[in-house]
Amino acid sequence: MNGIIERYKKIRKKGMLEKKFKGKYAFVGIGNHSINNLYPVLNYLNVDLKYIVVRSEDTKQLVENNFNNVIATSNLGEVLKDNEIKGVFVSAHPSAHFSLAKQILAANKNLFIEKPPCSSQNELNELIAAEKTSSATALTGLQRRYAPLFNILAKKVTNASYYTLKYKTGGYPEGDELLDLFIHPLDALFYLFGDGSVENIKVVKGKGTIVYLAQVQHQNGICGTIEFSTSHSWTEAQDILTVTTPKGEYITDNTSKLVFNSSPTVMMNIPLEKVKGFTPQSTTLYQQNSFLPVKEHNQLYSAGYFNELESFLQICESGNSSNNSEFKALIPTFKAIEALRKAKA
């Protein structure tokens, strides 16, 4: 048995070490999000970063001191003229994303753009048009579309009746809560249930806090209710989606756990649990396990960062990968954001 286990480990290790993307890439930005979530995945995937584009001379020096064989530059034009560059990763200040995306697509460089790629539906339409005239492909960093939990859930809820979503955090004075925070759970709803519209919006404003209460009506007939809040707590933040189907409820806890609770049987409109009792059954369909030190149970993997970045790299290298977050797939998301923004005004 030990021999079989060791052989499996050797095969797995060999596969990891032999995996190598051949192209050279550039990265625009080096903020906290990039350092904590994106650069570690690129390092694991053994990606050859030729350039890191920054704004200040001080940051250039820090990059050169900490990244071997990487050119630190503040000249994006220099990067876009380099024929060796197969793709560009962008994770800068959100206000700069739209302009950067247009420049990179105009240079026919494949683009990974962290959310949000733009700030409005009109800008999204411009990006869609820019990609059509470019020979490059763009993939947006909305990682829930690549998270294992949501890929499992998408196959289970095609016949869903309705859902409820609670996404509650602490105060967020430093940015746009719709584009920075709520875009993730909102976009996941349209990924799971298809196009739709946000209706019956109620906005509750507090001292430095805001709550959005609304209904979502999807074109396939599925409906849901949402509660997005910054009046809760960061320490005990909540991100819970409950989807009701004829067979029972699917309940998510962020991107780390998915549980199915079966419904009691009803026969001829009679709940059988009133006749012979009912033992609730709960099945865990997915759970991140911090005890196992492997890629599949790392939080960066369960959150979807690994799969979204790997998908982009495969698109750049061979074109053979799914793009779950192309610009045109985000139209329902930005329509919903604009409806919420209008209700807030």
Is 319 part of any domain? no
Is 311 part of any domain? no
Looking at 102, 128, 144, the residue that finishes a domain is 144
| pLDDT at res. 181 | 97
Are the C-beta atoms of residues 294 and 8 closer than 8 Å to each other? no
Buried b / exposed e across 47-69, counting CB within 10 Å, b at 16+? bebbbbbbeeeeebeebeeebee
Range of the domain at 282: 145-303+326-344
Q: Are residues 221 and 263 in the same domain?
A: yes
Q: Are residues 174 and 234 in the same domain?
A: yes
Q: Are residues 183 and 219 in the same domain?
A: yes
Buried b / exposed e across 247-275, counting CB within 10 Å, b at 16+? ebbbbbebbbebbbeebeeeeeeeeeeee
Is 70 part of any domain? yes
Q: Are residues 284 and 202 in the same domain?
A: yes
| pLDDT at res. 58 | 86
Question: How far apart are the C-alpha atoms of 197 and 217, rounded to whole Å?
Answer: 5
| pLDDT at res. 279 | 67
| pLDDT at res. 292 | 77
| pLDDT at res. 270 | 66
Q: How many domains does the chain have?
A: 2
| pLDDT at res. 277 | 65
Is 308 part of any domain? no
Is 318 part of any domain? no
- Tokens 């021999």, residue located: 3
| pLDDT at res. 278 | 64
Looking at 144, 164, 181, the residue that finishes a domain is 144
Q: Are residues 106 and 34 in the same domain?
A: yes
Q: Are residues 292 and 164 in the same domain?
A: yes
Q: Are residues 29 and 87 in the same domain?
A: yes
Q: Are residues 155 and 82 in the same domain?
A: no
Q: Are residues 266 and 297 in the same domain?
A: yes
What is the CATH number for 78?
A: 3.40.50.720
Looking at 103, 119, 144, the residue that finishes a domain is 144
- Tokens 């959100």, residue located: 94
- Report pLDDT digits (tens) over 244-272: 999 999 999 999 999 999 876 666 676 66
Is 264 part of any domain? yes
Is 71 part of any domain? yes
Pinpoint the alpha helices (H) of the chain: 2-18, 32-33, 39-44, 57-66, 76-80, 94-106, 121-132, 148-156, 177, 183-193, 273-276, 299-302, 305-317, 331-344
Q: Are residues 76 and 185 in the same domain?
A: no
Name the stretches of the chain with pLDDT < 50. none
Q: Are residues 30 and 128 in the same domain?
A: yes
Is 81 part of any domain? yes
Give the type of residue at 76: L
Give the type of residue at 280: P
Q: Are residues 49 and 155 in the same domain?
A: no
State the pTM of this model.
0.90
